[in-house]
Amino acid sequence: MTLDELRIRIDALDRQLVELLSERARAAQMVGHLKAATSLPVYEPAREKLVYANVRAANKGPLPDIELTHIYERIIDVMRALQRDELASQRNAQAAVPGQTAGAPTPETGNKQ
């Protein structure tokens, strides 16, 4: 393949990655909704370790496991931020609803607002 053909291929792969990352982000937002409803924390280290193990198990190269793990660390950081935003939006929406109890423990930290 020529350099131009390879770049066209990379551009197409980048578009696929964007689609998949957006799909993953939507799933993370739904997880955030469920965590809020069940008072689960956003940060779940055991789940993150499982994700890294799954990624390493699926890795057939050429990326070394450690580099792929670094990429996923950043992806998970961004997804966790989306979940926090989701929780904050839900808390703000609940605060606007009459009859909600202010000062209740938050699902993210267990601390009062």
Which residues neighbour 94 within 8 Å (Cβ) at sequence distance 6 or greater? 100
Q: In the structure encoding, which two tokens stand for residue 100, read together?
A: 């909600």
Q: In the structure encoding, which two tokens stand for residue 17, read together?
A: 């990655």
Residue 112 has pLDDT above 60, yes or no: no
Residues 49-65 have pLDDT tens digits of: 999 999 999 999 999 99
CATH no. for 3-88:
1.20.59.10
- pTM, two decimals, is 0.75
pLDDT at 101: 52
